[in-house]
Amino acid sequence: MGAISAADLTRLRTTRHGTKLSMVIYPPPTIWSARVNGAQDLGDTTITVDGVVQVRAPNADYLVRFGSYAGSDNYGTARFVSYAAPTLTVTPHNADLIDDLYITIVEEVPPQSKLVTINDSDVVFEENALAYVDEDTAFPPLPRCGTHAVEYLDMPASEGGLATVRFYDHGSVAFNGATIASVLWSWRGGTQTVGTAATAGTEAVPNEVTWDTVGNYYCSYTVTDSNGKSATRYFIVFIRDKSITVSGYEVFSKIQVDQLEGDAESGAYRTTVSIFDEYATETILPHGVQCVLFAEDWFGTEQVSIGHEAWRENIVFAGYMRKGTVKKNWFRGTVEFELESISGVIENLWQIASGLETFASGDNTLGWHVITGLTYNLACYHMLVWHSTIAKITDVWFNLPSYTIEYVDIPDSSLADGLRQAFAAVRSRMGCSREGTLYFEINPQLQSYDSRSSTYVITTTLADCRDDMDFGDELCDKVVSQIDLEGLDANAEPLFALAPPSPWNSGKTERVDGIRVSGQLESNEFSGLYEGWRNNPWNEIVIPWRGNYRPLDIFPAEPIAINLTAAQNPRGYAWTNQRCWIKRVTLEYRDTVLLVTTVVEKDAYGPPGIANNFPGEPPEIPTPQKPTNPTTPYIPPPPYPPPT
Amino acid sequence: MSRFQIATYAQGVAGLKDLCELVREEPQSTFLPYTELTGSDLTGAPIESGLPTATWSWDWLSQDDIDQLQQYCSTMSAQVYIRMPTDSGTQRKTEKYLAVMHRPKMGDPEDRETGNQAIPTARPVEVTFTAMVVQV
């Protein structure tokens, strides 16, 4: 995102503004259907079918439903692998495939886990049957193309209206020395007017595509690298006509959005939406449906949006309905449900335990468990790309510290917990922007002080707040008296550090274990940073912004600079360009007022600690010896059985 | 041309019709260039947020008049185009807006007379417009 432009700051500070917030949903359409032909074994992944009806050929990982009637999934789901008449191949499932069961494939890659399997010879396969070829060094590229698009036709479709949407490559990346060799966009009904399907496009010169018909277009962006490996990202283009409501392509504009709140610790946004539109029923909102909240913003008489992502400034939030939360509120006449970002969804995606190791440390048997030159970034990449569908449905950025590691153990847990365990050693965190882009990055407060960003999203003036900043209860005493840090170098040798060298006289000692460091100096530095962060007296500053300051987000970590004099806050603080980091962002929407509130923490710093030469484990306490001269005289036990 | 006009979304700006042709007289109106005051900035200046809002009110309208108005909003709310005065000074400027018209609120019916004609079911009526976007 970077800094908000001067022109946009002027708009935000001086121009009365209002917003119409609306929502669109993506109930995925059926593109392929068939019936099971003859009973198959329970859980068969190669299924003989007949009665195939194909609208479009499915792509890998599209959702497959098994049900007792067309479109239903009461027998379970899987993902599409391939079809060669009369055999449909799908991913593992537990469906009992009775004769004539309905199979429906919808046009959507769902957010799901992919499970690792190990055969009787201890050979690892991804996704049940995917054999290792060269993936220890040749990693598929990672396409990035931004969030979904929502656009209105510029006039009614009946009068030849067109909607123009712009696209560009958001920084697709190839790995391990490979380069991006080619790209291919698929517009699904759109007509390209600037660029070609093989043009990546840039933010300054994006591809332009027009649509003339209302619809939900499931588009894709495929990137191929110089190793011949390719990967595809899917995104949705929602085209709407203001003059008519087309069944199946509604715009929900009579909505109430309870606080849309994201916090950097959990990394997720969540909210509850109530729909008042007459045509909203619980039945048109399928469980887990993708939802996009978008805005029409007016600054005075100028319609312009100030957002977080270039060419998608009107997108306020992209996420998924939480399954099982949709309900009718008969009293209010509304349909209500909860929304969460993709980072919330992955909290509930399960994966089985597995591990990754760098080739040099292994048993020299190549396979899926090996990644040459393993880093924390590559470990997270591997989990997202091979153990889930997430990298196909959202942009992902891996900005973790670049240390190499010997191995990573992936626990039997949720995908989110597995990822957290993978990067726990590098002071990092994971989370989403409101538009759904997923970031892995170091906690900015635990980053070397000199490398912290000074590119402020905003440098505040008196006009930016709609009320006093709330500094909360300043911590007058230290929470932590001393950080006792155990750093681990590349050979997993411990490097202990204490910060501050002499404990503060309040708080308690806190142990921080297993932090990856390059050496003793870094261990000392990090112990100081931890101490400064944990004892930061200003860690909950509430800033109520004067209006629709949507560019402020929890991810990626970007600082803001606060200016205020002692007379402008009840605590009498005078700060000049004080760097702060966003912890939480809350959006409130009522009528046409969209207000942003953030909770920030002051930039914290603690001077480096000192090497701790104490042993890491407590000293062994000798076991007391059995006394040789018992003071109590020996009494023999009574005979058994007792004498009669 | 009346200072007050209205058209459905489908009719568009070109379809704006004088309110006097629909109901017996022009309404009393209020116009706010914002939705709500959301606070004051650190200089103490009030902050006006949201799109303009307006109300049209009549001491009473006949049922026929009300029926005419409800053609523009028969459900909870509807998008309409309106023209109305925006200032309260001597030079009352009028602007055209795309707005969300809320279902007219009506008071208790009462008998009225106008000239020699009895109006048996007259009611006080108020119409609220929100999310007003000026049409240039």
B90's CB contacts (< 8 A; 6+ apart) are: none
d(CA A461, CA B42): 9
B14 in contact with chain A, both atoms CB, cutoff 8 A: no
For residue A577, what are its two tokens? 């360009």
C-alpha distance from B29 to closest chain A C-alpha (Å): 20
Q: Is residue A147 helix, strand or coil?
A: coil
For residue A412, what are its two tokens? 């039997």
Query: What is the DSSP track for A47-59?
Result: EEEEEEEESS---
Q: Which of B36, B45, B133 sits opposite A593 (nearest CB)?
A: B36
Predicted local confidence at residue B76, as pLDDT: 84
Kind plus residue range of the DSSP H or E element containing B111: strand B110-114
C-alpha distance from A113 to closest chain B C-alpha (Å): 43
Predicted local confidence at residue A364, as pLDDT: 65
B36's CB contacts (< 8 A; 6+ apart) are: A591, A593, B48, B49, B50
d(CA A122, CA A48): 30
d(CA B74, CA B77): 7
Answer yes or no: do B42 and A468 touch at CB < 8 A.
yes
Answer yes or no: do A298 and B34 touch at CB < 8 A.
no
Kind plus residue range of the DSSP H or E element containing A377: helix A376-386
Torsion region of A476: left, alpha or beta (phi above 0 gives left; psi -120 to 50 gives alpha): alpha
* Residue A394 near residue A143 (C-beta atoms within 8 A): no
Total CB pairs under 8 A between chain A and B = 75
**Crossing angle between the packed helical segments A376-386 and A415-423, to the nearest 10 degrees:** 170
A256 in contact with chain B, both atoms CB, cutoff 8 A: no
For residue A267, what are its two tokens? 């990394």
Residues of A in contact with B34 (CB under 8 A): 16, 18
Q: What residue has token string 């365990």? A: A421
In order of A266, A451, A635, the CA distances from A559 in angstroms are 19, 13, 77
Answer yes or no: do B38 and A465 touch at CB < 8 A.
no
* Residue B22 near residue B127 (C-beta atoms within 8 A): no
Answer yes or no: do B134 and A301 touch at CB < 8 A.
yes
* Residue B25 near residue B15 (C-beta atoms within 8 A): no
* Residue A561 near residue A547 (C-beta atoms within 8 A): no
Residue of B nearest to A460 (CA): B42
d(CA A270, CA A320): 10
Average pLDDT along chain A, 644 residues, taken 10 residues at a time: 92 96 96 96 94 97 97 95 96 93 98 88 80 89 98 93 98 95 96 97 98 97 97 98 90 91 97 84 83 97 94 98 89 90 95 84 75 93 95 97 91 94 93 97 96 95 92 84 95 94 94 95 97 95 96 97 88 93 96 96 96 64 58 59 59
C-alpha distance from A131 to closest chain B C-alpha (Å): 57
- Please write down the HEC assignment for all residues of A232-258: EEEEEEEEECCCCCCCCCCCECCEEEE
Predicted local confidence at residue B109, as pLDDT: 81
For residue A47, what are its two tokens? 């299924």
- Please write down the HEC assignment for all residues of B40-106: ECCCCCEEEECCCEEEEEEEEECHHHHHHHHCCCCCCEEEEEEEEECCCCCCCCEEEEEEEEECCEE
Torsion of CA B99, B100, B103, B108, to 10 degrees: -50
Of the two residues A226 and B90, the one the predictor is more confident about is A226
Answer yes or no: do B49 and A20 touch at CB < 8 A.
no
d(CA A586, CA A595): 8
d(CA A316, CA A307): 8
Q: Which of B33, B35, B40 sits opposite A591 (nearest CB)?
A: B35
Residues of B in contact with A595 (CB under 8 A): 38, 49
For residue B66, what are its two tokens? 């009300």
Predicted local confidence at residue A624, as pLDDT: 62
What's the predicted TM-score (pTM) here? Answer: 0.92
d(CA A638, CA B105): 98
HSE value, Cβ hemisphere, 13 Å, CA-based, for A135: 22
* Residue A530 near residue A606 (C-beta atoms within 8 A): yes
Q: Which of B33, B47, B131 sits opposite A20 (nearest CB)?
A: B131
* Residue A390 near residue A438 (C-beta atoms within 8 A): yes
A505 in contact with chain B, both atoms CB, cutoff 8 A: no
* Residue A168 near residue A203 (C-beta atoms within 8 A): yes
d(CA A29, CA A391): 22
Answer yes or no: do A243 and B9 touch at CB < 8 A.
yes
Q: What residue has token string 């965190």? A: A429
Q: Which of B10, B38, B131 sits opposite A595 (nearest CB)?
A: B38
Answer yes or no: do A463 and B50 touch at CB < 8 A.
no
A302 in contact with chain B, both atoms CB, cutoff 8 A: no
Q: Which of A532, A530, A537 is nearest to A477 (CA)?
A: A537
At B40-62, the pLDDT tens digits run 988 889 999 999 999 999 998 99
B77 in contact with chain A, both atoms CB, cutoff 8 A: yes
Q: What residue has token string 């500070």? A: A13
**Chain A interface disruption, residue of B49, B97, B134, most A CBs within 10 A:** B49
B79's CB contacts (< 8 A; 6+ apart) are: B9, B98, B99, B100, B101
HSE value, Cβ hemisphere, 13 Å, CA-based, for A289: 19
Residue of A nearest to B36 (CA): A593
Predicted local confidence at residue A444, as pLDDT: 97
d(CA A101, CA A54): 17
* Residue A395 near residue A170 (C-beta atoms within 8 A): yes
For residue A235, what are its two tokens? 């995104």
Residues of B in contact with A546 (CB under 8 A): 38-39, 41, 47
d(CA A343, CA A380): 14
Predicted local confidence at residue B89, as pLDDT: 56
In order of A82, A233, A396, A450, B45, the CA distances from A222 in angstroms are 18, 6, 15, 38, 52
